[in-house]
Amino acid sequence: MDEMSLLSSVRNALYSAIQAKKIGQLHGRFWTNGRVSIIGGRHITAYGNFFVGDGFRIEAVEQHLGHHYEPQIIIGKNFSAGNYVHIGAMNRVEIGDDVLLGSKIYITDHQHGSTSYEDMSLAPEARELSSKGPVIIGDKVWIGDNAVIMDGVTIGHNALVAAGAIVTKDVPAYAIVGGVPARVLKQVGKDGED
């Protein structure tokens, strides 16, 4: 390893250690190879072997427009996310063990306002937050690049979300989903095709 590579590696290790301290409960290793943003860290629990790429952003929203929230973000063991992943919670986002996220993914349990005329007459930042419920992502889920997971969605274990999918409804275990909005493309496993 040359001197520049060693220096870069040491710099990443120090930066990772500093960012890890922002997470409320971290059980195990945290590693990043780029810039990260951690907001509301005291509401975040991660169970170790936590690797994130450049531009990772995780937000536990404690308040907005004078409303106070008790968000929870819980991330299981062996979590890996590519570049520019954004996870936001005002309610709860729970991610299981052995989950792999591609790049440019958005996971949220809330929205800025509703689709009512009154809300849509306001600037998005001036709208109260609303949530259809928590986001629950099971163990061994793989989510492809550019996917969006919306509030109130549960993704079953061992599911695969195709690149570019927008998930607005629950996904069964061992399902492959894709499209806008996402739909089941294939069901595998004991009761599935394979």
Residues serving a catalytic function are 112
User: How far is the C-alpha of 31 from the C-alpha of 15, rounded, in Å?
Assistant: 9
Question: Position of tokens 């999918």?
Answer: 165
Phi, psi of 21 (to 5 degrees): -70, -15
CB 174 within 8 A of CB 158: yes
User: How far is the C-alpha of 193 from the C-alpha of 89, rounded, in Å?
Assistant: 35
